[in-house]
């Protein structure tokens, strides 16, 4: 980990009221680029703290434990590095005032509660704006906020699988994404929207409200399907092919992605397979012909790839044809690309490390790993400078820095 907060956003202060995954993913991107993200948590903490796996010294928020214990596991840690935790009870008038004072000195506030909750608590956008007219207020919601367009589902709760399904992604792909894409993508769009709103605020000296709906985000993610349906009124079925070969192929020890719809890549692949006859074959001489004869084309590539290991295929095609082995986490950790790009940042969970049962990659019980920011700037570093926080770990420190005294 680096020793201090660095990056192009190091002049920004963000009050983060988001919990679980979508919001914290987005604010985590901003924190990794240097923003000071103050995570506001209720007395019982972010619900994600309770998700496994947990280190050996884990305890739930509120349990009486030794000072060196830790109240989160890998799920929480994955999206909360570089943040500071402040515990406030926003149902309390005293803590509401503390919260508003924090907002007075912040650039932005973000939350992912159900529409209207922050307003009911007396700390919504309009209230904050009376204290800081330049504040940018962002919200991630399942179906958006009435301020920007009132959905008939505006007050419905929404989690990842509901967002994937309702927004069309499941029917487009054939199944739920096993990673929480209806959290990850809206969170990313929230970070983008926040930066756009901050840019405008600096030009106009006026803040603004914006929101990102999980439903809308899924539609945007499959915008090609949306536009195609608008033209043809025909549903694009999962597995519909417009590029061939373009997908996963068998290897003797797993699977590997090969993408050679471009003619120069197809010609190179044919040479590597020892099948130069396929370059001029009427069934495979162009991408439209390969799409028409997709089963035949895929069978030819599969017959070659299935007799080789993933590494042998990479050795043959790497640098010539777009290729990517379907790596396990162990293989990702060992990949020289990951080391060269410094994409793994280690940290120690608070508490005593227990290395029994560890594997040859990571000591499981006391040592953690975060992904570093994939956004790199020449001459301006980004990185993991602070481990994920314990619940309320920075409350006194942050309030002192902001010059706030609790009643």
Q: What is the largest CA-CA distance in the chain?
A: 82
Residues 308 and 213 in one domain: no
End-to-end C-alpha distance for the chain, whole angstroms: 37
Domain around 319: 246-325
Does some domain include residue 340? no
CATH of the domain at 104: 3.40.50.10540
In a domain, 215, yes or no: yes
Active site residue 277: no
User: In Å, what is the CA distance from 61 to each residue of 38, 49, 86, 89, 133?
Assistant: 18, 8, 13, 14, 35
pLDDT the model gives residue 1: 47
Catalytic entry in 16, 160, 183, 211: 183
Domain-terminating residue out of 325, 355, 386: 325
Same domain, 74 and 204: yes
Question: 209 and 254, same structural domain?
Answer: no
The CA distance from 112 to 272, in Å, is 51
- What average pLDDT does the chain have? 91
Q: Do 148 and 297 share a domain, yes or no?
A: no
Residues 211 and 86 in one domain: yes
d(C-alpha 8, C-alpha 285), whole Å: 48
Query: How far, in Å, are 38, 97, 309 from residue 397 at the CA level?
Result: 11, 17, 54
Q: Are residues 130 and 83 in the same domain?
A: yes
Digit-coded pLDDT (tens) for 40-68: 999 999 999 999 998 877 888 876 554 56
Cα distances (angstroms) measured from residue 46 to each of 21, 85, 356, 402: 10, 10, 29, 23
State residue 239's pLDDT score.
78
pLDDT tens digits, one per residue of 309-361: 999 999 999 999 999 999 999 999 999 999 999 999 988 888 654 444 344 33
pLDDT of the chain along its 407 residues, tens only? 445 788 999 999 999 999 999 999 999 999 999 999 999 999 999 999 999 998 877 888 876 554 567 899 999 999 999 999 999 999 999 999 999 999 999 999 999 999 999 999 999 999 999 999 999 999 999 999 999 999 999 999 999 999 999 999 999 988 988 899 999 999 999 999 999 999 999 999 999 999 999 999 999 999 999 999 999 999 988 877 899 999 999 999 999 999 999 999 999 999 999 999 999 999 999 999 999 999 999 999 999 999 999 999 999 999 999 999 999 999 999 999 999 999 999 888 886 544 443 443 333 335 789 999 999 998 888 878 899 999 999 999 999 999 998 87
Give the number of domains in the chain: 2
**What single-letter DSSP state applies at residue 388?**
P
Is 335 part of any domain?
Answer: no
Could you tell me the CATH number of the domain that includes residue 255?
A: 3.30.1540.10
DSSP 214-226: HHHHHHHHTHHHH
The answer to whether the CB of 159 falls within 8 A of the CB of 23 is no
In a domain, 2, yes or no: no
């Amino acid at each position: 980990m680096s020793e201090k907060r660095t990056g192009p956003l190091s002049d920004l202060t963000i009050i983060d009221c988001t919990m679980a995954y979508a919001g914290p993913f987005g604010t985590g991107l901003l924190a990794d680029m240097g923003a000071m993200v103050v995570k506001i948590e209720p007395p019982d903490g972010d619900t994600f703290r309770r998700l496994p796996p947990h280190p050996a010294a884990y305890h739930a928020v509120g349990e009486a434990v030794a000072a060196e214990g830790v109240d989160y596991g890998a799920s929480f840690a994955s999206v909360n590095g570089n943040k500071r935790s402040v515990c406030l009870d926003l149902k309390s008038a005293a803590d509401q005032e503390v919260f508003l004072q924090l907002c007075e000195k912040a650039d932005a506030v973000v939350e992912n509660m159900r529409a209207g909750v922050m307003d009911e608590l007396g700390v919504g956008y309009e209230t904050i704006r009376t204290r800081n007219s330049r504040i940018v207020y962002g919200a991630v919601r399942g179906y958006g906020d009435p301020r920007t367009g009132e959905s008939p589902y505006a007050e419905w709760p929404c989690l990842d699988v509901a967002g994937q399904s309702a927004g069309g992604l499941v029917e487009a792909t054939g199944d739920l994404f096993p990673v929480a894409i209806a959290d990850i993508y809206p969170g990313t769009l929230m970070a983008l929207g926040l930066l756009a709103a901050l840019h405008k605020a600096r030009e106009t000296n006026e803040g603004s409200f914006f929101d990102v709906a999980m439903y809308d985000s899924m539609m945007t993610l499959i915008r090609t399907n949306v536009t195609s349906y608008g033209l043809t009124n025909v549903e694009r079925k999962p597995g519909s092919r417009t590029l061939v070969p373009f997908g996963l192929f068998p290897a003797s020890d797993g699977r590997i992605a090969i993408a050679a719809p471009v003619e120069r890549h197809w010609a190179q692949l044919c040479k590597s397979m020892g099948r130069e006859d396929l370059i001029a074959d009427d069934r495979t001489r162009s991408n439209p012909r390969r799409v028409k004869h997709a089963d035949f084309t895929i069978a030819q590539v599969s017959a070659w790839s299935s007799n080789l290991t993933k590494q042998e295929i990479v050795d043959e095609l790497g640098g010539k044809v777009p290729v990517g082995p379907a790596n396990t986490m162990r293989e990702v950790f060992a990949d020289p690309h990951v080391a060269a790009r410094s994409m793994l940042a280690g940290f120690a969970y608070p508490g005593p490390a227990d290395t029994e049962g560890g594997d040859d990659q990571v000591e499981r019980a006391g040592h953690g790993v975060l992904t570093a920011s994939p956004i790199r700037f020449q001459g301006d570093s980004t990185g993991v400078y602070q481990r994920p926080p314990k619940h309320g770990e920075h409350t006194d420190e942050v309030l002192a820095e902001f010059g706030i005294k609790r009643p």
